Structure 1
């Protein structure tokens, strides 16, 4: 299974989601992240790196702008907001049935994970906890779908 997380700049939310999931799944799940407006090759934000370090997560992240090739590669594309989802569906209509917000897929409630960019390290910790919690529902729903 191949999972792609997408946010705005690929420096905060999607790299944290990628690191969390890579830490929690077996080798048969491939995980990547990208941004709709990423500065190619940039590092994750300082606070995102700090929070991932605090959690003992490995992260040698370089930002990447989402491409058609990324979307073709992915079995599931999880956007961090409904606006990201809309943009992805507009740009890649062939994948509309594989594009979700992480929140809607994981919990069925709410759509957006707030962008911590520019916030305090505590804001990043809160975002990390939210994404980490959503992974439980996402993994459970992926397992249900794979058994159908």
Structure 2
């Protein structure tokens, strides 16, 4: 099973949006038996909370389910349980890499915006502060398409 973990700070805005969008794209590609998707935060402020209202409204608007999603914090076993850990910004990537570097871990860590090299930004903006959930959805939707293509290519899956 190929597994993807999206990581942001609180796990209520960006990473759960990416989780929901990626799950939707995986289902549409009929690859749910091959690819598992989750999300987590580096911080612990929102553990157990549902996605942010802005994330829920955006996903409702595009008819993508977030049913049952609750915020959680990155755990040590995530580094061996996931194939890919995709960080939404530089700070979270730095935190994840420091944690990963403390032990021998197998997960490939990458920054989300590396999937969209044509974009002029290197971090997915945090809509918790910007309020721009539309822009985050645009980036997440396109980035997840690129990530899915990468997974299909690297793991020789049929779509």
Same fold (TM over 0.5): yes
Structure 2 residue runs without a partner (length 5+): none
Aligned to 1:16: 17
Contact 1:89–1:96 at 8 Å: present in 2 too? no
Say if 2:36 is the partner of 1:37. Answer: no
Unpaired stretches in structure 1, ≥5 consecutive residues: none
Kindly report which structure 2 residues correspond to 1:67-86, keeping only aligned pairs within 5 A, or say none: 67-86=75-94
- 1:3 is displaced (CA, Å) by 0.4
Deviation readout 1:107-132 (Å, 9 max, x if unpaired): 34553111000443xx1011111110
Contact 2:79 2:107 (8 Å CA) reproduced: no
C-alpha separation between the residues in 1 aligned to 2:123 and 2:105? 20
Q: 1:95 & 1:117 partners in 2: Cα distance?
A: 31
Tell me the CA shift for residue 140 of structure 1: 1.8
- Asked if structure 1 preserves the Cα contact closer than 8 Å seen for 2:85 and 2:107, the reply is no
What is the aligned length?
Answer: 144
Query: Per-residue deviation at 1:96?
Result: 7.4
Instruction: Please give the TM-score of this superposition, normalised by the length of structure 1.
Output: 0.90
Q: 1:103 Cα deviation (Å)?
A: 1.4
Note the C-alpha offset of 1:42. 0.9
The equivalent residue for 1:111 is 122
* Secondary structure of 2:51's aligned partner: coil
- Cα contact 1:7–1:34 (8 A) shared by 2: yes
Secondary structure, counterpart of 1:128 in structure 2:
helix
Report runs of 4+ in structure 1 exceeding 2 Å deviation.
Answer: 94-97, 107-111
Deviations 1:45-71 (A, max 9, x none): 111111111111111211000001122
* Kept after mapping to 2: 8 A contact 1:12/1:117: yes
Aligned counterparts of 2:107 and 2:55: Cα–Cα separation in 1: 30
